[in-house]
Amino acid sequence: MTTELEHLTTNKYTLALHTTTPELGLAISNFADETRSQVWNLGRDLSSLIHQYLIDFIKPQTWADLSFIAVAKGPGGFTGTRIGVVTARTLGQQLDIPIFAISTLAAVAWSEVSKSQNPKTIAVEMPAQRGQIFAAIYQFEPETSKLKVCLPDRVFTPEAWQETLTNWNTNYQLVQAQSGLAATVTSILELANLDWQEGKYPNWSEALPYYGQHPVEV
C-alpha cells in the first residue's frame, strides 16, 4: 500500500531497516517514482555486514538524500533488533533526521491490509521465548488509511492469548508471523510515511527497541 508523500520532493528519499530476524531487509523510496527493497539472509554475520550492505544499497542515492529513517523496533530476536535500532539511531543522530521506530507486528498487519480486498481487524501472533507468544490486534481505518492499535504489542501465554481472542468482540483475521518478516520492510517504510505526513518528527533518541522479554532466563 503505497502512499504519496506531501512533504518529500522527488529528490528526497526515505530508508527503512528490518533486522529483527536473521535476515536483513532494506527499503528506500521517494514515494513518487522510485521504490526498491531487498532482503538478505545474513544470520550471525548481520552485525558485521549491515553497514556495508547499507552503503551499497542506497547507491546511487547518498545519506544527504534521506529525509527520515524507519526501523523495525521488535518484537523479534534480541540481538538483531538491537543492531537495527542502534544503527538507525546512529544514522539519525549523525544526519540530524527523524527516526520512526515501527512495530514488527504492525508491519505484518499492514502487509495483510495491502493484500486484502476488505481490510478488517487483524490479530498478529509470533512465537516468543519460553513457549510464550508476542501478539497484538490492529484495525484498518479506511477513512484515514491508517492502522488503529486495538491491543498493543504484548507477551502472552498461549492460554491467555487464546482467551483474549475468544473474548474479542469483533470479527478478526488471525495472522501468524513466523518467517520472511524482513520482507515487510516496505510496510515499515509506509507506516513511517503515514506518521511523517501527519507532521511527526521523532528525535533519534526516541527510537527504542521493544524486546518484550528478558533475553535470558532469570
Give pTM, 2 decimals: 0.91
Query: What φ, ψ does residue 142 adopt, rounded to 5°?
Result: -60, -35
Pairing mode, strands 13-18 and 23-29? antiparallel
Segment 159-186 shows an average pLDDT of: 94
> For the segment 178-188, what is each residue's pLDDT rounded down to a tens digit?
888 999 999 99
Give the model's confidence band at 124: pLDDT under 50 very low, under 70 low, under 90 confident, else very high: very high
Q: Provide the pLDDT for residue 152.
A: 96
Task: List Cβ<8 Å contacts ≥24 apart for 58-61.
Answer: 58/13, 58/15, 58/28, 61/13, 61/28
Residues 156/132, Cβ–Cβ less than 8 Å: yes
Kindly list the domain boundaries of the chain, sorted by start residue. 13-103+180-206, 105-176
Compare 201 and 11 and report the one with higher pLDDT: 201
Angle between helices 104-115 and 185-197 (to 10 degrees): 90
Q: Provide the pLDDT for residue 150.
A: 96
> For the segment 52-107, what is each residue's pLDDT rounded down to a tens digit?
999 999 999 999 999 999 999 999 999 999 999 999 999 999 999 999 999 999 99
Fold of domain 13-103+180-206: Nucleotidyltransferase; domain 5 (3.30.420)
3-class DSSP state of 70: strand
Q: Provide the pLDDT for residue 117.
A: 67
Segment 3-28 shows an average pLDDT of: 80
Q: Provide the pLDDT for residue 143.
A: 83
Give the model's confidence band at 11: pLDDT under 50 very low, under 70 low, under 90 confident, else very high: low
Q: Do domains 13-103+180-206 and 105-176 have the same CATH topology?
A: yes
H or E segment to which residue 88 belongs: helix 78-95
**pLDDT at residue 116 above 80?**
no
Residues 59/87, Cβ–Cβ less than 8 Å: no
> Is CATH 3.30.420.40 correct for 105-176?
yes
> For the segment 29-49, what is each residue's pLDDT rounded down to a tens digit?
999 889 999 999 999 999 999
Q: What is the DSSP secondary-structure string of 111-147?
A: HHHHH-SS--EEEEEEE-GGG-EEEEEEEEETTTTEE
Strands of the 99-102 sheet, one edge to the other: 35-41, 23-29, 13-18, 66-72, 99-102
**pLDDT at residue 155 above 70?**
yes
